[in-house]
Every structure is written in structure tokens, then in C-alpha cells.
């Protein structure tokens, strides 16, 4: 059975929990004491030299990075291949949003860490970068229901948590009606699960 190194309040771990639940995959959780920086201790860094959560283990496979994990889980556990289709152009379209979810949108995650765990980061810069990203995402969603392909994919899952949690970093989604509508659609997905703050 797969194991997810997990922290309940992590949006990056939640991305993986959400897809595993949607696809009905049985897995066990290995709790990481993120608040007390267990992810930086020597034992943990042997598993992920970047000192970050999540980590996903299945048999001999160990993966770090939520986006990589989404690709693996969707490729392996979604026989219909709707969440991560096999067509190269479809994969590349989705990968654009996997990258956005793991990069630009992480500015909102950083802002949230400042507000909820007192991280010493540049809050206004993070909020500004997140807002610039949300402006682009909102425009992209103006004539679409999902980030690509007209149906939900792992691109949506990668972008969802830290967008939906933006308020915890004091980033308002009020200016972004298309994002708010997309969040509403995400919450209606069959087998959707939530996390604190969403
Ligand atoms: N590229 C990684 C980044 C994940 C990430 O930033 N995780 C945060 C928690 S949500 C973390 O472990 N940060 C390390 C720290 O704050 O010390 C991914 O997308 O999975």
C-alpha cells in the first residue's frame, strides 16, 4: 500500500490526498511534524534532500514533489486516463499548470506560511506575485470550466489548494470571479475532500 508523508495543513500534501481520494486509492499516512521542522532533520532529509513535504512511497518507488506524485498516481490509478491523458499535447497542456501550481501559485503558499506559522518571508512581495498569477488564471478561466481540455485534470488539482487557501495569506479572491467559480466546481467533484481553510 502507498505511504504519504503528510501534514494536515499542507496544501501540497492535500493535492495528493485529494487525487488519491478521488481515485479511491488506499494508502497510509506517515505524519510529519512540520511545525517542529521534522522535515529538516537528518533522517527526513535522507528521504528528500530538499527537506519538503510531501513524499510518496510505493514499493521501491519514492517520489518527492506533489506534481510528480500527481502524475504517477493519475497514470497508475486512473484506468480511463482522464486526469492525466496519454496524448503528448494534452500532457503538455496540463504540465503548464502543474508547473504553475508548483511555482507561481506557491507565492500564495509562502504568504500563508508568514501568516499562520510566522515564517520570515517578504509578505508584500509574495502577495503581489500571487495576485499577478491569479489575474492570469482568472483571465484564463473566463471562457473555460477547467484549466485545460474541458474536463478536470491533475492541472486543476495542482493549482487548487493554494488558490483556495489564498485568504489565509491575506490575499483576497474577490477580484477574481472566474477563479471563485472554478473553486466552486472543484468542490463539486465526485469524492472531493476538503482540508482546514478550504
Ligand atoms: N516542490 C514541492 C514543494 C512543496 C513544498 O513547498 N512544501 C512545503 C510545505 S507545503 C515545505 O515542505 N516547505 C519546507 C519549509 O517550509 O521548510 C512540491 O510541490 O511538492
Q: What is the CATH number of the domain that holds 148?
A: 1.20.1050.10
The reply to whether 198 falls in a domain is no
Count: domains in the chain? 2
Q: Check whether residue 104 and residue 38 sit in a common domain.
A: no
Among residues 77, 105, 128, the one where a domain terminates is 77
User: Going by C-beta distance under 8 Å and a sequence separation of 6 or more, which residues neighbour residue 126?
Assistant: 107, 108, 110, 111, 114, 169
CA-based radius of gyration for the chain: 16
The reply to whether 83 falls in a domain is no
Domain membership of residue 120 as a residue range: 88-187
Q: What's the mean per-residue pLDDT of the chain?
A: 98
**Cβ of 107 below 6 Å from ligand 1:** no
**Mutate which of 7, 10, 12 to test ligand 1's pocket (most atoms within 8 Å of Cβ)?**
12
Given a contact cutoff of 8 angstroms between Cβ atoms, the answer to whether 4 and 56 are in contact is yes
- The answer, as to whether pTM is greater than 0.85, is yes
Interval 129-167: pLDDT, tens = 999 999 999 999 999 999 999 999 999 999 999 999 999
Q: Check whether residue 177 and residue 92 sit in a common domain.
A: yes
In this structure, what is the dihedral angle of CA atoms 5, 186, 175, 12, given to the nearest 10 degrees? 10
What pLDDT is recorded for position 167? 98
Q: Give CA–CA dist 72/8, Å, rounded.
A: 21
Q: Check whether residue 120 and residue 170 sit in a common domain.
A: yes
Amino acid at each position: 500500500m502507498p505511504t504519504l508523508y503528510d501534514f494536515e495543513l499542507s496544501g501540497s500534501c492535500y493535492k495528493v490526498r485529494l487525487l488519491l481520494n478521488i481515485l479511491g486509492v488506499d494508502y497510509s499516512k506517515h505524519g510529519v511534524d512540520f511545525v517542529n521542522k521534522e522535515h529538516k532533520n537528518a533522517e527526513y532529509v535522507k528521504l528528500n534532500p530538499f527537506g519538503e513535504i510531501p513524499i510518496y512511497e510505493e514499493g521501491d518507488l519514492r517520489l518527492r514533489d506533489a506534481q510528480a506524485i500527481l502524475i504517477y498516481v493519475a497514470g497508475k490509478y486512473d484506468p480511463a486516463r482522464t486526469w492525466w491523458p496519454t496524448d503528448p499535447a494534452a500532457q503538455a497542456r496540463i504540465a503548464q499548470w502543474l508547473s504553475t501550481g508548483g511555482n507561481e501559485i506557491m507565492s500564495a503558499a509562502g504568504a500563508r506560511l508568514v501568516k499562520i506559522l510566522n515564517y520570515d518571508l517578504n509578505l508584500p512581495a509574495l502577495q503581489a506575485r500571487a495576485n499577478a498569477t491569479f489575474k492570469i488564471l482568472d483571465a484564463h478561466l473566463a471562457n473555460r470550466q477547467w484549466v485545460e481540455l474541458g474536463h478536470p485534470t491533475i492541472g486543476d488539482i495542482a493549482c487548487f489548494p493554494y488558490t483556495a487557501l489564498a485568504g489565509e495569506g491575506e490575499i483576497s479572491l474577490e477580484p477574481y470571479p472566474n477563479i471563485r467559480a472554478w473553486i466552486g466546481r472543484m468542490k463539486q467533484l465526485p469524492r472531493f475532500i476538503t482540508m482546514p481553510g478550504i
